[in-house]
Structure 1
């Protein structure tokens, strides 16, 4: 593979794109980075001129990354994540590089009430991965996923759920039947199940999100003309209103009800189920890991049902059957290439051991066969190149170059390093060449 082009964006430039993707404006990115808007604007314009493509566009009084901007951010961050996963420090000269013996982190947006069960089941199914869960509503989960703040999103689909603009695959996890929360003493509270038509005159308590409104409308469409009594932001508000007899509400069969609750929950007959799906980026989460995550989510649902609503767990309407609760192999962790730098890394400004630009330097030296011939290609003097190589070897703790019969060659450690990052580097180079309109080999 050819060396990385000279126009290679560095980690700080990728960080600038990440800030714009997360904050939606140069003003907010400036506040987060503690750099002036003028400085960020100049850096962005310089990067766009070098690459020959617009990376940011204005949209509804905000700024968002273009398709080229997203492609560059994804490929670049994947390469940086791969470099961060390498462990070279402390190796003796001539020894190879190896992966750190550490757990990978999967950042996933999930429904707020399901975080604990999902975390426990994922730890059982995928012992090499730690789940960092972001509890939110469906639209929030999709927004986090599209901004590359998470690697996966577990959410329920509705008519109001927009199409995902990020490259993604969607896998059905389960279809949950709908139940209804009724005040204790309601005329239907003693029924084993309820028809939606029997609740046509009751006031309804509905969630404030667009997803909740759309799903509620789809449930009632062609069946009843509902009267919305209250619109609430939180489940606790719904529970209080129903307990006080102020209305009824659509709920999950896994809604917690105790002997002191002022409401009961009952199955609704002949209404559409709520579809829960797992959305992943195939470039970040491999197909095998995606299947394992789906199995873990189904297992989490079973565990929650057994704890919260055992009657529903044993019923014929229970949506999960025959889950294979087998732990994934250790290779699953290798399929995960997190696209989002952790907040802890951001907070402390953690440096990676190897910079993206260092790959370009090593490839040029290896291709030229000597520091003398590589220096003019890199637009640097030979002594300066020698010093830079020396500092890099000192930082990494390994020898990278050695004298061979035909000149200067990469050591075995350096070659292993280049092999370890080859796939991620190839993807990054392909994006850069595509931005410049050059053919991809």
Structure 2
């Protein structure tokens, strides 16, 4: 294995034409140059120079190494510059996977802040629901994933992951604007036991069924869809009501749909997950900081 310092010294000896000239150029003593060249020759297993009178001549191995030395040093310099750019956040890539309502709310504002302060850091966006999104981090398919958990359900988080809590997202009930309870500021889930319901993703549906069971009823689920816009359209047409996360209220599109908080409040925990070792990667840590800031500003909204 070559020592890059020895390659640099060898390159200067060849350029300058002698050990003494290279020593003056590099600010070393001549014995130090001699020791480095002997160490390099031991590393390659053959002499690199031969003396002809007072002059030094490259051996065949020396000539071969000379042809590559400049390229090696240029590659090292380019690698150092790229590493400096990454560690100083002038460049970098972070792959973020989030569930739909986070991708529509937390992510855009976080990326806008990131682009303003560190335009060289690029983010690739992916979309998936937990628990599959957590597995994608473990498999190396993304660097950060945003996922949610419910307090009444047992959640398995892989040991390799660090959890960074971001916010509590209050659950709401989507109602047609003409619904009798749409005039209230909040609604009780038990009072909606006779309604037809539209259920969401598997994890949200499991929590919904759990909360209904705690109140002693089994909901009449008429439709199931992961698409928040479809849920809104179904509610708007009076085909059912839905329990939805508060983040969805940020992009309600139908004028015939309104959201009302649950009483007592019911919430889900939104967190970011990352491999523990990746917490020390500057670009990843920066994106996590932006997510924390944006999420903190939404608490209580």
Structure 2 residue corresponding to 1:261, chosen from 255, 262, 265: 255
Cα distance in 2, alignment partners of residues 196 and 155 from structure 1: 25
Task: After superposition, give the CA deviation of every residue in 1:61-100 in whole Å (9 maximum; x if it has no partner).
Answer: xxxxxxxxxxxxxxxxxxxxxxxxxxx9695699795131
Rate the CA distance shift 1:253–1:92 in 2: closer, same or farther, 3 A: closer
1:265-280 aligned at under 5 Å gives the runs: 265-280=259-274
Q: Rg: which structure is higher?
A: 2
SS in 1 for 2:178: coil
Rate the CA distance shift 1:96–1:183 in 2: closer, same or farther, 3 A: closer
Task: After superposition, give the CA deviation of every residue in 1:287-325 in whole Å (9 maximum; x if it has no partner).
Answer: 88766544422433467x5xxxxxxx7xxx44xxxxxxx
SS in 2 for 1:284: helix
Residue 92 (structure 2) pairs with residue 99 (structure 1) = no
Cα distance in 2, alignment partners of residues 279 and 95 from structure 1: 34
SS in 1 for 2:279: coil
1:180-191 aligned at under 5 Å gives the runs: 180-191=173-184
Task: After superposition, give the CA deviation of every residue in 1:118-173 in whole Å (9 maximum; x if it has no partner).
Answer: 32234356655322121222233123213210111111113667523361111211
Rate the CA distance shift 1:104–1:199 in 2: closer, same or farther, 3 A: same
Rate the CA distance shift 1:166–1:148 in 2: closer, same or farther, 3 A: farther
Q: Which residue of 2 aligns with 1:134?
A: 126
**1:266: how far off?**
1.1
Cα distance in 2, alignment partners of residues 173 and 93 from structure 1: 41
**Which ranges of structure 1 fall in alignment gaps of 5 or more residues?**
1-87, 306-312, 319-441
**1:249: how far off?**
0.8
Rate the CA distance shift 1:166–1:106 in 2: closer, same or farther, 3 A: farther
Cα distance in 1, alignment partners of residues 284 and 76 from structure 2: 38
**1:252: how far off?**
2.5
Cα distance in 1, alignment partners of residues 95 and 111 from structure 2: 11
Task: Compute the RMSD of aligned alpha carbons.
Answer: 3.3
Cα distance in 1, alignment partners of residues 257 and 76 from structure 2: 70
**1:244: how far off?**
0.8
Residue 233 (structure 2) pairs with residue 240 (structure 1) = yes
Report the TM-score, using the length of structure 2 for normalisation: 0.62
Rate the CA distance shift 1:103–1:166 in 2: closer, same or farther, 3 A: farther
1:2-401 aligned at under 5 Å gives the runs: 98-100=80-82, 101=85, 103-113=91-101, 114=103, 115-124=107-116, 129-158=121-150, 163-165=156-158, 167-207=160-200, 209-225=201-217, 226-254=219-247, 255=249, 256-258=251-253, 261-286=255-280, 292-301=286-295, 317-318=300-301
Rate the CA distance shift 1:291–1:284 in 2: closer, same or farther, 3 A: closer
SS in 1 for 2:123: strand
Query: If each structure's strand is expressed as a fraction of its own residues, which one has the higher value?
Result: 2
Task: After superposition, give the CA deviation of every residue in 1:234-256 in whole Å (9 maximum; x if it has no partner).
Answer: 11221111001111111232322
Rate the CA distance shift 1:198–1:154 in 2: closer, same or farther, 3 A: same
**1:205: how far off?**
0.7
**Which ranges of structure 2 fall in alignment gaps of 5 or more residues?**
1-69
**1:177: how far off?**
1.2
**1:210: how far off?**
2.3
Report the TM-score, using the length of structure 1 for normalisation: 0.44
The alignment covers a number of residue pairs equal to 220
